[in-house]
Structure 1
Amino acid sequence: MTAAGAGQANGGAAAATPRGAISTSPDFETFLRMLTVQMQNQNPLNPMESQEFAVQLATFSGVEQQVRSNQLLEALSARMGLSELAGWVGMEALSAEPAWYGGAPLELLTPDVPAADRARLIVRNAFGTEVARFDIDPAAETLEFDGTGADGFPLPQGHYDFTIESLRSGEVIATNPALTYSRIQEARFDDGAVVLKVDGGSTLDSSAVKGLRAPEGGGY
């Protein structure tokens, strides 16, 4: 091996950082150089006390360690955030947002209006057009929407909004949304909020979720 080659090999070895070793940051290295220059150029007749050097070094070292701690906490927080997102995916979210009807019956949760003696379900499509209206049991806690339209024929696949009108003595006394479950396909952070992509490709803000459940069978 030539001298130049040996020098390159030694230089490469010196540049390598052992795995697990802690390296100083550029700011800390700059501080050490400034401190060294300060010691070299001090007045020999009135040198700075060694205790003062120690105080400066300890102070900067403390700040440096705090910065590193903050960086570690931020990294840990990001990883915990990803874990939180993973927990959403595959669950079924309960909300009052329009639900995707893909041909399979939808489970609806109805509001509790004890004073009502009648109730009806009103179904609207994605354009806000009423496509079905049915009388339902006012005491029912849940009901099933099988996709039948006002004409008795199946409705096409799409997003539908469900509203419950509660009546007493023929007068509407309450109008509430029926809650539906939607399968969560994707979860992501958007401006600090968790945004969920659900069945049918629509998005749902996590703040609108009223409840969560595992899909039937418990599988994901």
Structure 2
Amino acid sequence: MVDAVTANAQPQTQTTAAKDTKSLAANYETFLSLLTAQIRNQDPLSPMDTTEWTNQLVQYSSVEQQLKGNAYLEKIAAAAGAAGNSMDAAVNYIGKTVSAATATATFANGQAAWDYGLEGDAAAVNLTVVDKNGTVVWTGTSDQTGKGSHTVAWDGETASGNKVTSGDYTLKVKATNAAGDVAASVSITGIANAAEVRDGAVVLKVGGTYVPLSLISKVS
């Protein structure tokens, strides 16, 4: 069993492209300074030729666009490399039981489930489920009030007796005793059955819930 998951940092080296970009940036700054000085110090009685001025503006724009293009390409390359490394790590989790430090679970196939941990014994544990807009859809209590880890399953029935639609729902836990509030944490646990890239980040499908790889806290 692995209780903590830490991504291995990959060493980075400066590429030839990065060096070329720095050189180009330096030349660009020099070019801009010279052009500004030329305009400021031109002879009012013999101003710069319009054609020459236009040519220099074209050069200015070309260098600026090249710098922006190089920076954009570097970001794409870095993101692709990071995603590739993370995907390799994510694949190793498939088929294993994992825990993720998130209070949001996907309601599907008639159920959503969470784990909650209490740092001390509680006299009362109140549960609240909210939808993606933060609207309360269900409230209840749990008789699992002892210190440690507990599980709660929700069948999707709202306070009015209706059933919610499939989607993501968040559990909030408030535990109290005679001394006041008892610290509580919420997570989800399930079998990782798929990995994919969503919005540029690698996510694992845990049961029916997609969670970022960075939130995985336990693997068994």
TM-score (norm: length of structure 2): 0.48
Between structure 1 and structure 2, the one with the greater Rg is: 1
